Amino acid sequence: RKKKARVSCSLPEPSWEERLANAVTPLWRLPYQEQLQVKYESQRRILQTLASRLEELGIDAQKPGGLCCPLQPVVPSPIINGYRNKSTFSVNRGPDGNPKTVGLYVGTGRERNIVCVKANHVENIPSKHKQVAQCYQEFICHSPLDSCILFHEGGHWRELVVRTTRCGHSMAIITFHPQQLGQEALTTQKALLKEFFTCGPGAVCALTSLYFQESTMTRCSHEQSPYQLLHGAPHIFEELLGLKFRISPDAFFQVNTAGAEVLYQAVGELCQPTGDTVLLDICCGTGTIGLSLARRVSKVIGVEVVEKAVEDAECNAAFNGISNCEFHSGKAEAVLPQLLASWEDARPLVAVVNPSRAGLHYRVVRAIRSCRAIRRLLYISCKPEGEAMRNFLELCCPPDPQKKLAGEPFAPMLAIPFDMFPHTVHCELVLLFTR
């Protein structure tokens, strides 16, 4: 008998472009309504987990569906494609072996299979960002200096951050490892960069601001190594809910501006502000939430760790003729306990917290719980299944002398997810707590 030939059913290997799209925007193939449903189910599971964890603490938190509180449908993003106002591009070896490829990573450092793929086809990145990335790659490919892939192996050219606004402004921030270069050589490189983006091929980007940062660390703040303005204006400006906002190189601003407007309007409603309300805006960034609500409350108090963001917030208040805001620079765990320990204001105090993925420091949670004036708290989280979950439990658990958690516990009342990140699995969850 003749053996039958085997028919191969294996699918062709996905292209590098598809691999990158699958890594960065894993829901990109789904119709948008299906993306929203995927995210709703994800948030539902998170609220079920929170309910179970609260039950373990002896708190009767089970609501219909096993949730800790009612969950509203995911609020869609007004813009689905090209919505990002900030993109960070890496420099590394591309699929073709070019060590000066500017793009996004496929693979992991742990598995040592990182490949840097151009992001031209990634749907959530606007064309302007892709244009600046392409120009930066052109510049470094013509540079005699190497890219810095591993710090200890030398090389200089590192990542690129691009920020844009709906006002038509654009900012590029280039990170450079100085290695052993002297000041004269650094000055030369900065001059060449400026020339390329103002008079050379990069002039097509029409940058509002071009920044340069010398950094020997993976991440570096302005305080650790100042951002050096090579060309243009020191800030770019955005308009949000009828207000004008100044943005510095490292200031936090929601990555989806149109989505942020929808989010902040909802936050305003959930705060239920009255004319005598004091709004406590923790992790306030450039002051967007507090300033958007300033005319509906008697006072806004903002707390933010990034000094430049606080400067932006103060300027933003001045731009918009808002005089009832004060902003405090420093770590929330250092500023807030002092601020609330002596709180004697009789006016109702509403807190809004919008921390990074690392969540709130336990001292911040302790200070919030100990302040009797805070009866209403809105927690905005882009990763509620992470460290934020710890915060939720700390806010809601019975008083615990061992953890120095005093004060009446909060209870989750309502959850609203906002799709700030179409095509990805992430969304922003707003949880309303009261006591």
* Binding-site residue set for S-adenosyl-L-methionine: 254, 304, 354
Amino acid residing at 51: A
Q: Report the DSSP pairing between strands 157-164 and 170-176.
A: antiparallel
Torsion of CA 294, 296, 297, 298, to 10 degrees: 90
SS3 label, residue 414: strand
- CB burial readout 120-130, b (16+ within 10 A) else e: ebbbbbbebbb
Write the CB contacts of 136 (distance below 8 Å, at least 6 apart in sequence): 89, 102, 160, 172, 174, 202
Token representation of residue 430: 């707003």
Active-site choice (116, 135, 325, 382): 382
Q: What letter would DSSP give residue 409?
A: P
Q: Please say if 205 is a catalytic residue.
A: no
- Binding site, by residue number, is 254, 304, 354
Q: If you write DSSP's letter for every residue of 265-309 in order, what string do you get?
A: HHHHHHH---TT-EEEEET-TTTHHHHHHGGGSSEEEEEES-HHH
Token representation of residue 207: 């940058």
Phi, psi of 171 (to 5 degrees): -130, 135
Distances (CA, A) of 320 to 61, 237, 269, 355: 43, 13, 21, 25
**What is the distance between the alpha carbons of residues 99 and 427, in angstroms, rounded to a whole number?**
34
Q: Cα angle at 55 between 53 and 56, to 5 degrees?
A: 65
- For the chain, counts of helices (H) and of strands (E): 10, 16
Distances (CA, A) of 177 to 57, 100, 105, 213, 403: 49, 14, 20, 8, 43
Residue numbers annotated as active site: 382
